[in-house]
Structure 1
Amino acid sequence: MKNTIKTLTLVALVAIITLSFTKIVTEKKIIKTENSTVVWKGYKVTGSHEGTINLKSGSLNFEENALSGGEFVIDMTTIVNTDMEGEYKGKLEGHLKSDDFFGIENFPSSTLVFTSVNAKGKNSYVVTGDLTIKGKTNPITFEISIYGNKATASLKIDRTKYDIKYGSSNFFDDLKDKAIYDEFDLVVDLQF
């Protein structure tokens, strides 16, 4: 009986020591910004506009091959319109970069830092993160899918939470067909 207790104690002790020195494999994968795209789409009463914006940097963290975190820096100075040409394209881009919208002179970057990641399926995750635009930080929740060395996500962002109120019918009366909807979309394709 004493030998059995000693053996069980020894096995338990070895198991505890082994588990305490077992390391969870964590890997930080750097985003290839030149191969990744971020497409924005904004909506107004009379239609919509879309364009692109570049990532300055980004990474996704994995533990045991499952997504566990991430962070991104968006270069707001690169925002461009892709559905117009000529003078009106330039005017829209200038307006988006102005203080009415993203104020790139004072806020050249925006950031997204994952705060929680929950598996939804084999390659799908629900992410909550802190999104900072124009110096204002708010939580945002979205889904991201990962296949091999690629990830895709779609985010719906309420611009008024970041003090971007220009043309919002929630803040200005009598805008009629000049109203711009508060939410805009980002469609993100990442390679790492």
Structure 2
Amino acid sequence: MKKLLIFFYLIVIYSLISCKKESTTAHGSYLTHLPEIKGIKYQVDTLRSTIYWTGFKPSEKHTGTLKLKEGLFICNQNTIALGRFYMNMNSITVTDLKDKKDKNKLENHLKGLADKNIKDHFFNISKYPISDFRITHSELKNNKTIIYGNLTIKGITKSVNFPAKININNDQISLKSDTLQLNRTYWNVNYGSKSIFDDLKDEFISDQIHIQVNLIAKKIKK
């Protein structure tokens, strides 16, 4: 009987350990979905990495930032072979408005938190809290690296490429992109678009959003 109890306790302990490992692997990180590929891995420092954006209207513009939830580079022979980056859409911040009420109003509108009738005007973070960019490959041209990949916003994926200045050393990667233009309507961000609605007169918002990416990533120690 004593041996049977010991055997039972060992099974319980083993099961608890196995469940814990499975939970960490499956739910601890979005990055578990990356394919296995040989190379040196660098994890994005989310505190030191920022995406800058600018949106335009006929007589004004707004600027802001967006932070990453997590991200990873995989480098092979001093070149970026693969990468994936998850953007926290709840981190959308407006930086040009000094009045706190105006700032909060615009941020909530962009996030889709202001009113249920306008939640899908822009990014609808309740439904789409995460956007992601997956690097498929890169190549060197004119002393800059061209990054190729797929950008998913609001569940819609489109191919994107942009030039960036990249510095890779043993312990860290820094990436600073050129300013790139994205047509927001490709991802169903249609509010105020003159190409979608024909009755806006001068109240339209440009389809083009300017994006500039600054990333710092640290080598993952084995």
- TM-score w.r.t. the length of structure 1 is 0.83
Amino acid at match of 2:158: N
Kindly indicate whether residue 166 of structure 2 is the aligned counterpart of residue 146 of structure 1: yes
Give unmatched runs, 5+ long, in structure 1: 1-23
1:160 paired residue among 164, 182, 185: 185
Amino acid at match of 1:135: G
Residues 167 and 178 of structure 1 are in contact (CA less than 8 Å); yes or no, is this contact kept in structure 2?
yes
Residues 79 and 138 of structure 2 are in contact (CA less than 8 Å); yes or no, is this contact kept in structure 1?
no
Map of 1:84-163 to 2, 5 A cutoff?
Answer: 84=97, 85-98=99-112, 99-122=120-143, 124-148=144-168, 149-153=173-177, 154-163=179-188
**Worse-matched range after superposition: 51-60 or 147-156:** 147-156
Amino acid at match of 2:147: V
Residues 25 and 64 of structure 1 are in contact (CA less than 8 Å); yes or no, is this contact kept in structure 2?
no
What's the counterpart of residue 188 of structure 1?
A: 213
Q: Which runs of 4+ in 1 moved over 3 A?
A: none
**Secondary structure of the residue that 2:189 maps to in structure 1?**
coil
**Secondary structure of the residue that 1:177 maps to in structure 2?**
coil
Higher strand share: 1
Amino acid at match of 1:170: S
Map of 1:43-82 to 2, 5 A cutoff?
Answer: 43-82=56-95
Amino acid at match of 2:175: A
What's the counterpart of residue 175 of structure 1?
A: 200
Give the Å deviation of 1:43: 0.9
Q: Distance in 1 between matches of 2:75 and 2:124?
A: 34
Residues 150 and 189 of structure 1 are in contact (CA less than 8 Å); yes or no, is this contact kept in structure 2?
yes
Q: Distance in 1 between matches of 2:148 and 2:181?
A: 13
**Secondary structure of the residue that 2:80 maps to in structure 1?**
strand
CA deviation map 1:164-183 (0-9, x unaligned): 11000001123122110111
Give the Å deviation of 1:121: 4.2
Residues 80 and 137 of structure 2 are in contact (CA less than 8 Å); yes or no, is this contact kept in structure 1?
no
Identity of aligned residues (%): 36
Amino acid at match of 2:166: I
Q: Distance in 2 between matches of 1:75 and 1:119?
A: 29
Give unmatched runs, 5+ long, in structure 2: 1-36, 113-119, 218-222
1:26 paired residue among 20, 39, 44: 39
Give the Å deviation of 1:70: 1.3
Q: Distance in 2 between matches of 1:160 and 1:38?
A: 19
Residues 43 and 181 of structure 1 are in contact (CA less than 8 Å); yes or no, is this contact kept in structure 2?
yes
Q: Distance in 1 between matches of 2:166 and 2:129?
A: 29
Give the Å deviation of 1:25: 6.6
CA-based RMSD of the aligned residues comes to 1.5
Amino acid at match of 1:60: F
